[in-house]
Chains A and B, each alone.
Chain A
Amino acid sequence: MAQTQETRAVNTAQPIRAKRRISRKAITAWLFVLPILLLFLVVVIGPSFAAVYYSFTDWSGIGPAEWVGTANFRKLLFEDMSFRKAFGNNVIWMAIFLIVPVALALLAAGVLAPVKRGGMAFRAAIFIPYILPTVIVAQVWRYLLSPTQGVGAALANVGILGFDKAFLGQSSTALYAIAFVNNWQWWGFLMVLFLAAMQNIPHDLYEAARLDGASAWQEFRFVTIPGIMPTLVFMLLMTAIWSFLIFDYVYILTQGGPAGSSEVLGTLLYKNAFNRFEAGYASALGLTMSFFAGVIICIYIALRRREAE
């Protein structure tokens, strides 16, 4: 009896010890992740769920929040004209950014890819605007786009008229002027990404195209573009998502003005939350912006799935 108990103890001791060792290992592994998980919980996850709740309330940021159902969303979609204007501006912004910097970056990367001597220097120089702070870029271009001191004024001095306008100050051009400034900073970054993708295209493909007598344009169209397609599509997706979230340049350059002409969802959210203390309504706005971003991600995933099939 005593013997069998002993042997049983011996038999079971091994797996128990092994299991205990595994679980201790698991606990150690989790301890290494725990601090950052807690921080995510407090900064991102908790407030995100809170935002969903508050978007159905009339919360002012201080004091209790009263449940108002879908009133915020109804106001947003059917009453708030500034929301409609801002949303339209975000769509214009997206259209600009899906075309202009992408075209410029493709051109630059295509031209730079075959260059060996000095290629790295050109890459670095064109990348530099991307590392500058928004406030500085905004200030530099506020100067260069000013009608009295900037490029337009200099052109007017030598007799080329028509560019000495207050591009940031008139409602017909403000949004486009801001987009131009943001573009100036952004396209070099895209160029570096496209260039890296182009340099990964196997050289044989170009040799084959040349043997078939392809022109430079045909090479670009039928070898380069398909070769960088994954990068291109991914960056178009990121651009589309990010177009709904822009804030910095609009806030710094025009604050959404003049007369709301360059208002975007980001600045509208800021004004509702921190100037008018409509925290519930601002949460609904934030949720709506995230919804647009989410829809674009879903479209991307659906497209990829269809491609895979």
Chain B
Amino acid sequence: MAVQITTPRHRSLRSSLVPNYLVLIFLTFFALAPIVILCFNSLKSSSEVGRNPLGPPQAIQWQNYPRAWEQGGFAVTTRNSLVLVVGTVAGVLLLGGSAAYSLARLRLPGGSALMLLLLVISTVPLQLFLVPLFFLWKNFGLLNTHLGLILIYIATNAPFAIFLLRSYMVQLPADFEDAARVDGADELQVFWKVVLPLSWPGFLTVGLVVALGVWNEFFLATIFISKPDLFPVATSYYKFTTRFSRDWALTSAAAVMMIAPVLLMFLVLQRRFIDGLTQGGMKG
């Protein structure tokens, strides 16, 4: 009897999901249509953008891409961005990872005070320490250097990384570490040879989130890098759009080149991206 009652109920529930799908399709359209239009425009000629601003291209102009690559100096800016991404990710994983290891595994005395400090640091707004930091970096000769910007990125990304990696390492079984210690490994070797390989999913998540953040970052890059040949893609693209503000086809092609690697990575590692970003949601 009970089965008979619930089965039609389920069926009626499923049929009532049609309005849900309609709303979702509309919202998905709202989220994706601007990106699709961007891709369309990147393949039009300038005059076609004027005639046909939103629709698909009628005559595909692949040459917008090499032209934007050339004019936007992408060869240089991509390399600059990669230096920033790799340097920051390596620094965050190494310094944040070792701090997380100490908090999770080495019974750090004063560990809870350190966690509180991390919480405070992650809520201190950039705007508070920005001005003195700028002039400090100027005195250190770190303005207009990738190293200077990387150091700031590491510091601002580390609290989130430490929280996430610590919570990951706490769950690991201690047996492997103890076995390594019995075999005479010191803590550095245990960290390097045992904990790092075991907690790679946590490291991968943090690495992806930090890499995305650095690739997209604009505010600090604008302030700390003012030499065009050191620009990362984001600030260079901004200058590019002010220089070619009327050439929508060209700026669209440049935009697609900047977001293509991000979108590809996202499509491949979707769940890891979403989980990592929502856990780092405190970054605002």
User: Residues of A at under 8 Å CB distance from B?
Assistant: 25-26, 28-30, 32-33, 35-37, 39-40, 42-48, 50-51, 54, 61-62, 104, 107-108, 111-112, 114-115, 118, 122-136, 139-144, 149-151, 153-154, 184, 188-189, 192-193, 196, 235, 238, 241-242, 244-245, 247-248, 251-252, 265-266, 269-270, 273-274, 279, 282-283, 285-287, 289-290, 293, 297
Contact = CB atoms under 8 A, between A and B. Distances in A.
Nearest to B117: A40
B125 A245 contact: yes
Contact of B17 (A115, A124, A192, A242): A115
B85 interface: no
B100 to A, nearest CB: 9
Contacts of A251: 219, 222
15 contacts: A32-B99, A32-B191, A33-B103, A39-B158, A61-B134, A129-B31, A129-B35, A135-B235, A135-B258, A151-B54, A154-B54, A192-B278, A273-B130, A279-B131, A286-B127
B89 interface: no
Contacts, number: 261
Interface in B52-94: 53-54
Nearest to B136: A47
Contacts of B21: 115, 118
Given A128-B266, A139-B255, A279-B135, A43 B20 contact: no
Given A43-B155, A47-B133, A273-B134, A133 B218 contact: yes
Interface string B252-284: 100100110011001100100110011001101
A286 B125 contact: yes
A122 B28 contact: yes
Interface in B7-23: 13, 17, 19-21, 23
Interface in B130-157: 130-136, 138, 151-152, 154-156
Given A35-B98, A40-B155, A131-B273, A25 B106 contact: yes
B132 A283 contact: yes
- Most chain A CB within 10 A, of B41, B124, B138, is at B124
Looking at chain B's contact residues, the main secondary structure is helix
B237 interface: yes
- Most chain A CB within 10 A, of B131, B241, B267, is at B131
A128 B158 contact: no
A245 B126 contact: yes
A114 B17 contact: yes
B264 to A, nearest CB: 11
A241 B282 CA distance: 11
Nearest to B154: A39
A158 to B, nearest CB: 11
A151 B96 CA distance: 46
B128 to A, nearest CB: 4
- Most chain A CB within 10 A, of B27, B124, B162, B248, is at B27
Contact of B128 (A124, A273, A286): A286
A274 B248 CA distance: 30
Interface in B160-198: 162, 187, 191
- Most chain B CB within 10 A, of A30, A136, A188, A265, is at A136
Nearest to B114: A33
B24 A122 contact: yes
Given A107-B23, A136-B259, A286-B127, A131 B218 contact: no
Given A36-B158, A136-B259, A290-B125, 20 more contacts: A35-B99, A40-B117, A42-B155, A46-B136, A47-B131, A107-B23, A123-B274, A125-B28, A129-B35, A132-B216, A134-B234, A136-B255, A139-B251, A140-B37, A189-B278, A235-B281, A238-B281, A241-B284, A270-B223, A290-B128
A238 to B, nearest CB: 5
B128 A289 contact: yes
Given A39-B151, A48-B124, A293-B123, A132 B259 contact: yes
Given A32-B99, A139-B255, A283-B132, A149 B53 contact: yes
Given A136-B255, A144-B37, A274-B223, A44 B24 contact: no
- Most chain B CB within 10 A, of A35, A37, A40, A248, is at A40
Contacts of A287: 128
A269 B127 contact: yes
A61 B274 contact: no
B129 A29 contact: no
B225 interface: no
Nearest 7 CB-CB pairs, A to B?
A32-B102, A47-B129, A133-B216, A43-B155, A29-B106, A50-B132, A47-B132
A44 B28 CA distance: 39
B212 interface: yes
